[in-house]
Amino acid sequence: MRILLLTHHYEPELGAPQQRWGAMVRRFTRAGHDVVVVAPSPHYSFGGLMDEAAQMRRGSVHRGAYGETVHRVAFRPHTGRLGSRLLDQAVSSLDSTRTVLTRVRRIRPDVIIATAPALPTLFSGALLARTIDVPLVTEMRDAWPDLLAVADDWDAAAVPAPSRRAQVFRPPVLHAAGALMTALQRRSSAVVTTTESFASALRSRGVRSVHVVRNGAHELPGYRVHSPREPDGELRVLYLGTVGRAQGLGTAVVAARQAHAAGVAVRLRIVGAGAEHEAVAAMASKGDVPIEILGQVPKAQVAEHYAWADTLLVALRPWAPLELTVPSKLYEAMSIGIHVTGMVDGEAAAILRTAGMGAIVPPGDANALAETWAKLANDPSQLYVGDAGREWTHEHANDDRLAERYLSILEDVVAQHA
């Protein structure tokens, strides 16, 4: 097959979408398929062109790490604010459409995959699929349009409240956007989600041909199995990943302070980048609680942070749509056998409970989080979690199996279209 992938996030950037598609494309090309990727110049998550990607500017075409052809399109430098990021995504989406129609179209793809995050990319995929008459696979990594229902909470901790004018116009705009998103999902040849719960939600709305291809438990360079430290009276808590709106890491900062005030030796380390990094760092800087706030680190340095930690924090805000999602970091943690403190609900909590990989805390509940860390500090034997998580991810989050399933979906879609 000739597969055209439209995405706003791609290697050499770091992040969950980039890891997912790096793993998929590697296996697609290994199986003999031609893959063409259309993506903006690498600029996640800082908003500007990455220093090491100067040769990947708009208009460049280069060979990817797995033999794929990558066309780079425009982006707009952005800040952490939602409007700025959305404008960046819109610019890239428009240039992706132009690039496919003027250059990539000549290869005549058999199927187009448009993947979110970056909602404008989905609409670009729909327009292109209709224009050049090829099937469209829409990939929903997050629970859209459900997340629009909590749009008023997105920027609550990071930026000032929207203006009165924005408050007047936002509800009808969000309603229209949600309706348009559902219509797009219904018109797609197939919709791929990463969780069973969101797939069920889409099917209940009349979306046809919904398939689940979970995120993978990607291998960590130089770190296969976690070895718990010898207890020394201190509990080391690690958060490693996106410091964004959906994670609500301010709760972890508050919980660390509460535990410290109660005499519990808890050390919190937050590693990553995102829209709320500055806000969380500002919270953590007030007081004498041992909280480290670090930026994004290269893959090669991830292992040393896991080796430092006693438990990994996987966190989401208490928003109903997030009950339909599973953070990809949970699979990574389960695959190496590290204890997880899961501030999650819904499907993520169910997976964690089934695998017996750690403790589950209600999202947004700082008191419960502080109490959980106090119990772990007082009884370090709870940090030993066994092999159930590794067995679960081998069965359900294995990249080879996930890629085989994805290819099967694409082959069915192409055959039905023909």
Q: What pTM does this model have?
A: 0.89
327 versus 159: which is more confidently predicted?
327
Distance (Å, rounded) from C-alpha 393 to C-alpha 385?
A: 14
Q: Give 26-71 pLDDT, tens digit per residue.
A: 999 999 999 999 999 998 877 788 877 888 999 999 999 999 999 9
144 versus 334: which is more confidently predicted?
334
Among 43-57, 126-140, 258-272, 356-370, the minimum mean pLDDT is found in 43-57
pLDDT value for 171: 60
Q: What is the mean pLDDT of residues 330-353?
A: 95
For 38, list phi and psi in degrees, rounded to 5. Answer: -115, 115
Q: CB-based contacts of 153: which residues, under 8 Å, 6+ apart?
A: 317, 319
Percent with pLDDT over 70 in the chain: 93
Under 8 Å between Cβ of 371 and 255: no
Distance (Å, rounded) from C-alpha 71 to C-alpha 84?
A: 23
Q: Give 59-83 pLDDT, tens digit per residue.
A: 999 999 999 999 999 989 887 677 7
Sheet architecture: strand order including 339-343: 291-294, 266-271, 235-240, 311-315, 339-343, 358-360
pLDDT value for 48: 84
pLDDT value for 199: 96
Distance (Å, rounded) from C-alpha 104 to C-alpha 123?
A: 17
Q: What is the mean pLDDT of residues 402-408?
A: 97
Give me the helices (H) in 236-275, please.
Answer: 250-261
Distance (Å, rounded) from C-alpha 101 to C-alpha 99?
A: 6
* Other CB atoms within 10 A of residue 79 CB: 13
pLDDT value for 154: 62
pLDDT value for 43: 86
Q: Give 352-378 pLDDT, tens digit per residue.
A: 999 999 999 999 999 999 999 999 999
Please check the confidence at residue 158 and state whether its pLDDT lies above 50: no
pLDDT value for 174: 66
Residue type, 92: S
Length of the chain: 418
Q: Give 197-230 pLDDT, tens digit per residue.
A: 999 999 999 998 999 999 999 888 888 889 888 9
Q: At what angle do helices 346-355 and 196-204 cross, to 10 degrees?
A: 140
pLDDT value for 294: 94
Please report the domains of the chain, with CATH numbers, ordered by start residue.
2-216+398-417 (3.40.50.2000), 235-395 (3.40.50.2000)
Strands 61-63 and 69-73: antiparallel
Distance (Å, rounded) from C-alpha 6 to C-alpha 96?
A: 8
Instruction: Supply 363's token pair.
Output: 């999202």
Element (H, E) at 103: none
Give the CA distances from residue 93 to residues 97, 107, 115, 207, 242, in Å, rounded to whole numbers and listed in that order: 6, 20, 12, 24, 23
Under 8 Å between Cβ of 296 and 273: yes
Please check the confidence at residue 256 and state whether its pLDDT lies above 90: yes
The residue among 255, 263, 261 whose CA lies nearest residue 359 is 255
